[in-house]
């Protein structure tokens, strides 16, 4: 089960697309298609996550979306958590602006740029900004798989009260690969999203790896209601003034319902 989260994986936000009015068929597997939506997710530890996103398009084909999400746990003190109690205490949140451009290139027809603000208030407290980009690879070159490489630069502050009495300013980067494969013609798909994050400052150095596997299935023929399931595997290594925090592989399962407007 999950003990604590270092920082929110940035590729996760991009794997939650937003809706453009010009699209007739909802296809969330393609992260460069944008849809207006809302979702409620619940984890195996009874954490609760709310998500909402609005989107729009321009006459030149560009699309944009604004995502907001927040996660609540039953207790930010990991040693006091009860997996049978639903989350009511704020844990973390993210706000993301995402803009999609058409390139006109056959091999990579679309690119997306994102700006994220991440706020975490658990045993690790951080306020981070990230600027990133994602590229849509033409499925004709990937055997029908949807592939979206992603990279980003990160900066902000982090504090670990149990090991330090002050905040540290950090800079770093993130690398991710969003992949998806449709299952038949219903729109259902599986996705696999590995991501690596590396942040360093004067006192704190942190590396975080996450692997998120999901199965997403439409619940009606219009594809407006979806059942979302996800299984997360993460491992974070953190060093404060030369002292390493104990780190183990952590897992968490999520299930939820999403509605596309």
Is the model's pLDDT at 16 over the cut of 50? no
Please provide residue 163's backbone torsions phi and psi, each rounded to the nearest 5 degrees: -125, -10
DSSP 153-218: EEEEEEE-TTT-SS-EEEEEEEEEEEEEEE-TTSS-EEEEEEEEEEEEESSEEEEEEEEEEEEEEE
Per-residue pLDDT tens over the stretch 249-259: 999 999 999 99
Domains and CATH numbers, the chain: 10-260 (2.40.160.40)
- Return the closest-CA partner of residue 52 out of 72, 66, 73, 71: 66
Average pLDDT over residues 20-35: 81
- 125-147: string of b/e by CB count within 10 Å (b at 16+)? bbebebebebbbbeeeeeeeebb
Q: Which CA distances in Å does 144 have to 25, 163, 168, 183, 218?
A: 18, 48, 44, 11, 20
CA 167 to the chain's CA centroid: 25
Burial class of residue 186 (count of CB atoms within 10 Å of its CB; 0-12, 13-18, 19+): exposed
At 40 the pLDDT is 98
Q: What is the dihedral of CA 21, 25, 30, 36, to 10 degrees?
A: 40
Average pLDDT over residues 70-81: 74
Mean pLDDT taken over the chain: 90
Confidence of residue 18 (pLDDT cuts 50, 70, 90): very low
> How far is the C-alpha of 241 from the C-alpha of 230, rounded, in Å?
35
Is the model's pLDDT at 25 over the cut of 60? yes
> How far is the C-alpha of 238 from the C-alpha of 205, rounded, in Å?
6
pTM score? 0.87
Per-residue pLDDT tens over the stretch 207-250: 999 999 999 999 999 999 999 999 999 999 999 998 888 788 99
Structure tokens at 221: 């023929």
At 1 the pLDDT is 45
> How far is the C-alpha of 69 from the C-alpha of 60, rounded, in Å?
29
At 3 the pLDDT is 44
> How far is the C-alpha of 7 from the C-alpha of 119, rounded, in Å?
9
Confidence of residue 20 (pLDDT cuts 50, 70, 90): very low
Average pLDDT over residues 27-41: 97
Structure tokens at 134: 């994602």
Of residues 246 and 53, more confidently modeled: 53
At 17 the pLDDT is 46
Confidence of residue 90 (pLDDT cuts 50, 70, 90): very high
Per-residue pLDDT tens over the stretch 97-150: 999 999 999 999 999 999 999 999 998 999 999 999 999 999 999 999 999 999
At 68 the pLDDT is 98
Structure tokens at 190: 């599986």
Is the model's pLDDT at 168 over the cut of 60? yes
Is the model's pLDDT at 152 over the cut of 50? yes
- Number of neighbouring beta carbons within 10 Å of residue 191: 20
Average pLDDT over residues 68-95: 81
Confidence of residue 78 (pLDDT cuts 50, 70, 90): low
Per-residue pLDDT tens over the stretch 35-51: 999 999 999 999 999 99
At 19 the pLDDT is 40
SS3 assignment, position 12:
helix
Contact (CB, 8 A) for 46 and 87: yes
> How far is the C-alpha of 46 from the C-alpha of 117, rounded, in Å?
25
């Amino acid at each position: 089960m999950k003990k604590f989260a270092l920082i929110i994986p940035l590729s996760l936000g991009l794997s939650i697309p937003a809706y453009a009015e010009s699209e007739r068929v909802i296809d969330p597997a393609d992260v460069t298609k944008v849809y207006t939506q809302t979702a409620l997710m619940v984890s195996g530890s009874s954490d609760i996550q709310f998500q909402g996103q609005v989107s729009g398009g321009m006459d030149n084909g560009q699309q944009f979306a604004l995502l907001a999400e927040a996660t609540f746990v039953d207790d930010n003190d990991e040693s006091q958590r009860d997996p049978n109690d639903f989350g009511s205490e704020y844990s973390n949140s993210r706000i993301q602006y995402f803009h999609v451009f058409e390139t006109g290139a056959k091999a990579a027809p679309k690119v997306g740029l994102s700006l994220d603000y991440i706020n975490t208030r658990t045993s690790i407290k951080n306020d981070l900004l990230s600027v990133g980009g994602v590229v849509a690879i033409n499925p004709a070159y990937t055997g029908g798989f949807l592939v979206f490489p992603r990279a980003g630069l990160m900066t902000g502050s982090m504090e670990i009260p149990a090991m330090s009495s002050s905040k540290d300013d950090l800079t770093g980067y993130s690398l991710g690969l969003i992949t998806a494969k449709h299952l038949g013609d219903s729109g259902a798909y599986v996705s696999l999203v590995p991501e690596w994050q590396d942040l360093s400052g004067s006192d704190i150095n942190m590396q975080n790896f996450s692997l998120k596997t999901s199965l997403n299935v439409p619940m009606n023929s219009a594809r407006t209601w979806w059942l979302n399931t996800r299984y997360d595997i993460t491992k974070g290594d953190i060093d404060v003034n030369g002292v390493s925090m104990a780190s183990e592989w952590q897992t968490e399962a999520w299930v939820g319902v999403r509605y596309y407007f």
